[in-house]
Every structure is written in structure tokens, then in C-alpha cells.
Chains A and B, each alone.
Chain A
């Protein structure tokens, strides 16, 4: 069995993705629903309940007074923020173990994922005048492949780093050459295993090379790509890969944003991260 086969096989050992967030999005997409239906689903999972309460009190979601029970939290958050906080709570569980091999600190990958998710929302707001829930989920999960690939990267780090420094390969290119698969592609397969929609699977799988995706009309992989690169440039969650990633030239043009907008979004991100510390602290 090749290394890549072993890596792919280990996907099946990951626990199934909890149905909580799916159930809630189904409920809120109905023409009419009661908050009690939502609360009943959340209450089935005590860990998620506690985390949603924490996040409801975060300045990022605009909390102005202390929210102390789940009923108040659900009615305060509103649909979009509720879905995002449920998704954050659910996904954070997988990031608790970190991605040793890439990072020194267990919490680094989660911090990076939250930073990229917030940055992508800033871009989405800039481009469309509003945030986007599918984008939020995709960005939180964009590096999920690192959770599985971490131990393999650790064992082959010398070889991978050598390709980066000696041959000018990007880190994902070197992963692919040495291990047979890169973390983005692997992340896409994990999302497929969890039965996410194609749009999310592709956005994860192509987050370092949106230019290689056939469907060039899709904007989401480009948003994730730029948000990810911007966070790496700012040092939010860089691991052993550092900044060894390809610059994909048409990226800014694709989103119709200027260099100045990119810089302004970085300024905004620092504020958002300060407001969102509860989202980072839930793991």
C-alpha cells in the first residue's frame, strides 16, 4: 500500500460529521418555523449548547448584554449568525487535537481557520455587501486535511522542506511529491466523506490553486485563496509551510479588488479578531 493509500484510508476513521448543523439549516430554510424547533435540536448536544452560548456573548456577533440561556441566544443571534455559530461549534470539535507536524501549538490550526473565515467574510461583504454562510463553512474547513496529513508531514518533513528550499516548490506541491497527496486535495476528500455539497468540496480542494478549477465562474475558491494568503502573510497560523505558497496572479482582479482594499481588509481583520476571541477560545 502506498503512503497516499494509507492516508486516504485513514479518512474513514474520522467520526461522522454531526447532523446538528444540517438539521438547523433545514429548519430555518422553511417558510415558517418556531425557535423552539431550533432549540430542541441544539439541546440534543450539550457541548454545542455551551459553545453557542459563549459565542452569542462575543462582540463579533454584536452582544451588548450578557446572554445566559440558549433560548435568548437563539433569538438574539438571528438566522445567519445562529448558523455560523452552530457551524463553528460543530467544526471546532475536529480541531481540538490540532495538526502536529505542521504547528508547534495545538490551537494554531483553529486560530488560523477562524482568522481565514473572518477574513473571507470581510471580502464577501466588500464584494457582495453581505456575508455568506456556505463560504463561512468552507473557510473554517479549508485546512481540515492538515488534521490527517500532519503526522505524515512530521515524518517526512526533512524531504518536504528540502524540495521547498532547494527546488522552489510550494509546500503543497512538495507534500504531493513526497506523500502522494496534498492537504487541500485531502481536505476536499474529507468533506466528500462528510457528504458536503460539491461547491464546498471544490472550494476546499482548490484553495491553494483556484486557477486549476475548471469552473472558473465560481468566485468562492478565489475568496478563500486570498483570505488564506492574507492571513498567512499576517502570520496568523503559519506552520512549517510558512509562506511557501504559489501566488496566483489574477486573484485580485478576479474579485475586482485593489491592493488598497486588501490592505484595508487586513486593518479590519485585526479588529474583528479582537471581537471574536470567544470563537477562538472554544477549543
Chain B
């Protein structure tokens, strides 16, 4: 079995049942897992910011950095490996904020909103979501089963 580690502003795709896809320490960043249980293809994206208009040169170099360029890229990569939209499971985690985060530093909130809007516009339902609050999350996708696990910073693990 091999662990494929997804860093910040990165994405990994797999069609190998022996793989686990993992990303660590999602704070305000968001991790998106997509998985087709019939074709057993899946992917994990760890994006940092909501909107690529901030820096379009960067978005061309590193589309995985932004929700609006990273998520379409993730979907295309899954389709290319035979994954189908109607069977696809979508699970998301992250988008945390610091406390009393009302009028500034709202990057976690903006990251969540951006992702929901993109899935809505593409007629894709989000199956499970563990977002917001003020704690960090790590995410693991088991390619063999399609199960997604969330690891908290205190060591607790739950299935999403």
C-alpha cells in the first residue's frame, strides 16, 4: 500500500486500490475528495484560496491553489480516468476560522462558499461535509473502499 501525500495547493488522482490519498493540516484551506465507486477512481485536492482572479499568472502555473481553477481540474482528471459525474461521491473538509471571525480573516468562510457555488453550478451534490469551526483536520481517502476519514489534531479519527 502506498500513501500519496497531497501538499497545500496540490492535487493527487489515483485509480489504484492499493493507494491511500492523504492531506495534512487543513486550517482555512479546503480538502475535496471525489470518488467513483464503480470505476474506483478518486482524487484529493487541497486548495488554499477561493478566487483565482487574485493572481491569474499563479493560477495558470498552479491551478490547484484556488477553488475556481482547482475544482474543475479535479473533476476533469476524474472524468479522464473514466469516472462519471452521476456516480461520483463528493466529500469536503476544512475551511476553519479563528475565533470571533466576523469581519476579517474570513478566508475559511470564503473557501467554503466558493466550493459550494462551484458544485451547485455544475449540478453536483456534496455528499458529506465537515467544515468550519476552529480546528485543523487531516483527510485520508482509502482507494480500495472509497471511505474518507478525518483526523483531528488531538489524534481522534472519524469517518466522513
A residues with CB within 8 A of B: 104, 157, 161, 168, 170, 229, 232-236, 238-240, 242-247, 249, 251-252, 259-260, 262-264, 266-267, 270
Given known A-B contacts A242-B135, A244-B135, A264-B54, A270 and B104 have beta carbons under 8 A apart: no
- Looking at the complex, which of B36-44, B74-82, B92-100 is the stretch in contact with chain A? B92-100
Which residues on A sit within 8 Å (CB–CB) of B28?
233-234, 243
Given known A-B contacts A170-B99, A233-B27, A235-B27, A247 and B135 have beta carbons under 8 A apart: no
Which residues on A sit within 8 Å (CB–CB) of B153?
238-240, 242
Check: B119 CB closer than 8 A to any chain A CB: no
Check: B35 CB closer than 8 A to any chain A CB: no
Which interface residue of A243, A244, A249, A263 has the most chain B CB atoms within 10 A?
A243
Check: B115 CB closer than 8 A to any chain A CB: no
Question: Of the candidates A236, A251, A260, A266, which one forms a contact with B104 in the assembled complex, judged by CB atoms under 8 Å apart?
Answer: A251
Which residues on A sit within 8 Å (CB–CB) of B48?
234, 266-267, 270
* Complex: A252 Cα to B104 Cα, angstroms: 8
CB distance from B107 to the nearest CB of A (A): 6
Number of A-B contacts (CB under 8 A): 101
Which residues on A sit within 8 Å (CB–CB) of B155?
104
A247 in contact with B104 (CB, 8 Å): yes
CB distance from B137 to the nearest CB of A (A): 9
* Complex: A181 Cα to B29 Cα, angstroms: 31
* Complex: A163 Cα to B125 Cα, angstroms: 36
Q: Mark B47-59, 1 if CB is under 8 A from A, else 0.
A: 0110000110010
Q: Report B116-138 residues with CB < 8 Å from chain A CB.
A: 134-136
B29 in contact with A229 (CB, 8 Å): no
Question: Of the candidates A168, A229, A236, A239, which one forms a contact with B105 in the assembled complex, judged by CB atoms under 8 Å apart?
Answer: A229
- In the complex, the chain B residue whose C-beta lies closest to that of A237 is B25
B residues with CB within 8 A of A: 8-9, 24-29, 48-49, 54-55, 58, 65, 96-108, 134-136, 153-155
Given known A-B contacts A260-B54, A264-B55, A235 and B105 have beta carbons under 8 A apart: no
* Complex: A270 Cα to B97 Cα, angstroms: 20
Question: Of the candidates B25, B103, B134, which one forms a contact with A249 in the assembled complex, judged by CB atoms under 8 Å apart?
Answer: B103
Question: Please, could you name 10 A-B residue pairs with CB atoms under 8 Å apart, sorted by A?
Answer: A233-B97, A233-B105, A238-B25, A239-B153, A242-B135, A242-B153, A243-B28, A247-B100, A252-B104, A270-B9
A244 in contact with B49 (CB, 8 Å): no
Which residues on A sit within 8 Å (CB–CB) of B54?
260, 263-264, 267
CB distance from A140 to the nearest CB of B (A): 20
* Complex: A99 Cα to B108 Cα, angstroms: 27
CB distance from A266 to the nearest CB of B (A): 6
Question: Nearest 3 CB-CB pairs, A to B?
Answer: A235-B25, A242-B135, A233-B28
* Complex: A245 Cα to B99 Cα, angstroms: 6
* Complex: A249 Cα to B92 Cα, angstroms: 29
Which residues on B sit within 8 Å (CB–CB) of A251?
104-105
B9 in contact with A232 (CB, 8 Å): no
* Complex: A29 Cα to B97 Cα, angstroms: 43
Given known A-B contacts A229-B105, A233-B107, A243 and B96 have beta carbons under 8 A apart: yes
B98 in contact with A246 (CB, 8 Å): yes
Given known A-B contacts A247-B98, A266-B48, A259 and B104 have beta carbons under 8 A apart: yes
Which residues on A sit within 8 Å (CB–CB) of B102?
247, 249
B105 in contact with A234 (CB, 8 Å): no
A242 in contact with B104 (CB, 8 Å): no
B134 in contact with A234 (CB, 8 Å): no
A266 in contact with B49 (CB, 8 Å): yes
* Complex: A233 Cα to B49 Cα, angstroms: 11
Question: Given contacts A233-B98, A235-B24, could you give 10 more A-B pairs where the C-beta distance is less than 8 Å?
Answer: A233-B107, A243-B97, A243-B99, A243-B135, A247-B100, A249-B103, A259-B106, A264-B54, A267-B49, A267-B55
* Complex: A262 Cα to B49 Cα, angstroms: 11
* Complex: A170 Cα to B106 Cα, angstroms: 18
CB distance from B155 to the nearest CB of A (A): 8
* Complex: A104 Cα to B151 Cα, angstroms: 13
Which interface residue of B97, B101, B136, B155 has the most chain A CB atoms within 10 A?
B136
